[in-house]
Each structure stands twice: as structure tokens, then as C-alpha cells.
């Protein structure tokens, strides 16, 4: 009986391995960037928790409702919405993704932008899997970063 219990504990630990979790969170963050790039309302909605908050570099905040509304209205049409230099760190049921994001596109009003920002995205493990709960962006970097 003791051997079975220890084996079951080992299986539970294995199912929450950092490597598996890091890959799952990285894939979810990639999916979020892809959904944002094409203004995929359903995709964005499925990844964010209801009380999601994004803090922008200038101190303003956006909620899940704000992001979904922007996607519905196609407030931004992206040419690029991709990240690099990504690091995923997992601590139990919390994970943080930090990466350098390149955003290039045009706003609904016709203003073009091409900027790089650092971001940190916080994910938590829920009963239905990992979900994005909080994000923070830097101010746009002054020059294109050197890789």
C-alpha cells in the first residue's frame, strides 16, 4: 500500500513538472500574442481571467473588457506582434513570462507605430488550466534593441 501511495505521489508531482508547466505557459503566451495580433476576441477571452489587469508603461490600466473591446473594434491592426528573449519562470501554481515584444502596426485613426517594449505576464494554474491574470508593459524602448 505504501509503495502504491508513493507511486501515486510521484505521478502527481510529475504532472506538475516545471518543464511541462514552462512549455504550457510559453505556448499559452504565444497563443495570446497570436490572438492579439489578429484581434481574435474569442481567443483573447479564453486566455484571460475575468478580473485581468494590464498596467501600461505610462501608468494607465486596461481590463479584460477593454482588451476585448479593442479587438472587436480593431483599434489596432498589427503587422507584427511578436516576442523574443522570452523567459518563463514557474513557482508552483504561478508563472511569469518576461519577454521583449515588438509591436508594429496602425491604429484605427491611421497612426503608425513600430516599438519594442519589455513585458511581464503573470499566469496562474486554475482548475481549467493556466490563465493569464496580470500584465505589465514598459515604456517603449528608445531604439530597436540589439539581439
41-73 pLDDT tens trace: 999 999 999 999 999 999 999 999 999 999 999
For residue 143, being part of any structural domain is answered with no
Cell of 30: 504565444
> pTM (2 decimals)?
0.83
**Is residue 8 one of the residues assigned to a domain?**
no
Q: What is the mean pLDDT of residues 6-35?
A: 72
- Residue 79 pLDDT exceeds 60: yes
On the question of pLDDT at 87 being above 50, the answer is: yes
Report if residue 13 sits inside a domain. no
According to the model, what pLDDT value does residue 146 have? 54
Q: What's residue 28's pLDDT?
A: 97
Task: Say whether pLDDT at 26 is over 50.
Answer: yes
- What pLDDT is stored for residue 33 in this prediction? 95
Q: Which three cell numbers stand for residue 85?
A: 528573449
* Residue 7 counted as domain residue: no
Q: What is the CATH number of the domain that holds 45?
A: 3.10.450.50
**Dihedral of CA 101/105/111/114: which sign?**
positive
20-37: average pLDDT: 96
Domain extent for 42: 18-137
Helix (H, G, I), strand (E, B) or coil at 37: helix
> What is the torsion angle, in degrees rounded to the nearest 10, for the CA atoms of residue 34, residue 36, residue 37 and residue 38?
90
Chain Cα centroid distance, residue 44: 10
In a domain, 81, yes or no: yes
pLDDT at 19: 84
Confidence at 10, pLDDT banded by 50, 70, 90: very low
pLDDT at 145: 53
Structural domains of the chain, count: 1
* Within-domain flag for 145: no
Amino acid at each position: 500500500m505504501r509503495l502504491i501511495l508513493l507511486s501515486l505521489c510521484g505521478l502527481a508531482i510529475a504532472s506538475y513538472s516545471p518543464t511541462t508547466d514552462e512549455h504550457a505557459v510559453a505556448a499559452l503566451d504565444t497563443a495570446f500574442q497570436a490572438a492579439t495580433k489578429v484581434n481574435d476576441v474569442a481567443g483573447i477571452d479564453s486566455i484571460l481571467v475575468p478580473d485581468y489587469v494590464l498596467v501600461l508603461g505610462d501608468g494607465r490600466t486596461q481590463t479584460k473588457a477593454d482588451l476585448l473591446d479593442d479587438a472587436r473594434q480593431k483599434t489596432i491592426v498589427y503587422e507584427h506582434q511578436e516576442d523574443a528573449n522570452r523567459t518563463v519562470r514557474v513557482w508552483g501554481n504561478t508563472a511569469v513570462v518576461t519577454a521583449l515584444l515588438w509591436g508594429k502596426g496602425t491604429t484605427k485613426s491611421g497612426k503608425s507605430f513600430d516599438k519594442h517594449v519589455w513585458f511581464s505576464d503573470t499566469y496562474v494554474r486554475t482548475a481549467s488550466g493556466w490563465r493569464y491574470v496580470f500584465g505589465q508593459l514598459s515604456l517603449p524602448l528608445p531604439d530597436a534593441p540589439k539581439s
